[in-house]
Amino acid sequence: MDQNFKPETICVQGGWKPKKGEPRVLPIYQSTTFKYDTSEQMGKLFDLEDTGYFYTRLQNPTNEAVAQKITELEGGVAGMLTSSGQAANFYATFNICGAGDHIVSASAIYGGTFNLFGVTMKKLGIDVTFIDQDASEEEISKAFQPNTKLLFAETISNPSIQVLDIEKFAKIAHSHGVPLIVDNTFATPINCRPFKFGADIVVHSTTKYMDGHATSVGGCIVDSGNFDWMAHKEKYPGLTQPDPSYHGIVYAQKFGKAAYITKATSQLMRDLGSIQSPQNAFLLNIGLETLHLRVQRHCENAKKVAEYLEANEMVAWVSYPDLPKDKYYPLAKKYFPNGSCGVVSFGLKGGREVAIRFMDNLKLAAIVTHVADARTSVLHPASHTHRQLTEEQLIEAGVQPDLIRFSVGIENVEDIIRDIAQALEIARTK
Ligand SMILES: *Cc1c(COP(=O)(O)O)cnc(C)c1O
């Protein structure tokens, strides 16, 4: 799309470019397969000699338009959709590491990603070192090894709501010759475009604000095209040396800035196949059309809820970076001056027991695993999403045992606050 279009315009019109007589609205290409006239035409696609659709596991026009929209929103050069945020995180990392390699990751990340790195990728022979993202450059640098292939963190961590110093992380990653991969799910490109601050690759769980209505699980990977794989030839053989499964093409040479996404599509999607269904991509696109409006309202409402909680005597602590007293306020002002996200984390005096009583008495806010959609929802990570973690791991992941994750929706904020007030009252008096 035109480089000068602002995010709001990209949300509505990015990606799908109908030609004469084509549908104005992005259609669902509900087809597994695509027709060609000659066997040679088809053969060229399989050799990556020509571009075109042939099988939806690799590419589909609906998915491609939506990936393109998100790529434009992030200001990247290439992107792809995946079936979930977890698939996006797995592909984004596994695309550039393998058995015998090592990754460095912030410890304050989504519970599922913590398990992916700490348990499942370990089984594949990929080792991880978790670090405290607030530590100094020197301290974090100590975690790097000669076989380290990437640095990973979340812009705003789920559920601890810690803000990443993206520039600091980019500097550390680049000084060790590896890319910085940032999970930008909570901030969304409306509030923060991590590429502007040196991140190389961005991942999303589109399940959250992007879809926004809690209808479709999905993920996305976007590449900035800025990391120079050829400058680190030995470290990234998958991109810089011939691929025997495609007659010896070298991705970084043949595809230039699109090398990373092309490899992820043509190898990982081909072999592991976590595609997003075109149906879900269609729904995701409808969500994206209003992302800018919803994110703004989520942030306005969340700030009021955070202020209410901060002033309430039953509340032990509140974590929301737009509160001037918050530890991350200066970073939030720098990286997302227009607002952070709609999720507020807090603890109640009296700990776990009071937290459960509070949650059980909410009427408008529902107890759901999900976060970051139009409806206000609440979760107690230590009892739910992070249940598998030990007390020690909980603290490492930034999850205090009393932490309540409150995902503020786009309802009327006075109604949300009244609901909180009545539930707090019951929790206090029972
Ligand atoms: C939800 C979430 C994920 C996982 O995404 P799914 O779509 O549920 O697979 C990854 N990272 C963050 C920050 C998330 O909030």
Minimum CA distance residue for ligand 1 atom 8 = 85
For the CA of 207, the closest atom of ligand 1 is: 7
SS3 of 383, please?
A: coil
Minimum CA distance residue for ligand 1 atom 4 = 85
Token digits of residue 44: 């060229």
Report residues whose beta carbon is within 6 angstroms of any ligand 1 atom. Answer: 84-86, 89, 110, 112-113, 154, 158, 183, 185, 205, 207-208, 217, 219
Nearest CA-CA partner of 154 in 404, 307, 372, 7? 372
Best substitution site from 91, 157, 185 to test ligand 1's pocket, by max atoms within 8 Å of Cβ? 185
Q: Is 322 exposed, middle or buried (0-12, 13-18, 19+ CB in 10 A)?
A: buried
Q: How far apart are CA 421 and CA 394, in angstroms?
A: 28
Beta bridge partners of 315: 348
Q: What is the pLDDT of residues 298-353, one digit of tens each?
A: 999 999 999 999 999 999 999 999 999 999 999 999 999 999 999 999 999 998 88
Q: What is the mean pLDDT of the chain?
A: 95
Alpha helix ranges (H) inside 264-409: 270-272, 278-289, 291-310, 329-335, 351-360, 391-396
Q: How far apart are CA 173 and CA 198, in angstroms?
A: 10
Q: Determine which of 126-130, 288-292, 332-336, 379-383 has the lowest per-residue pLDDT on average.
A: 379-383
% of the chain residues with pLDDT over 70: 99
For the CA of 157, the closest atom of ligand 1 is: 13
Q: How far apart are CA 50 and CA 57, in angstroms?
A: 17
Q: How far apart are CA 9 and CA 3, in angstroms?
A: 11
Q: What is the pTM assigned to this prediction? A: 0.96
Q: Is 171 exposed, middle or buried (0-12, 13-18, 19+ CB in 10 A)?
A: middle
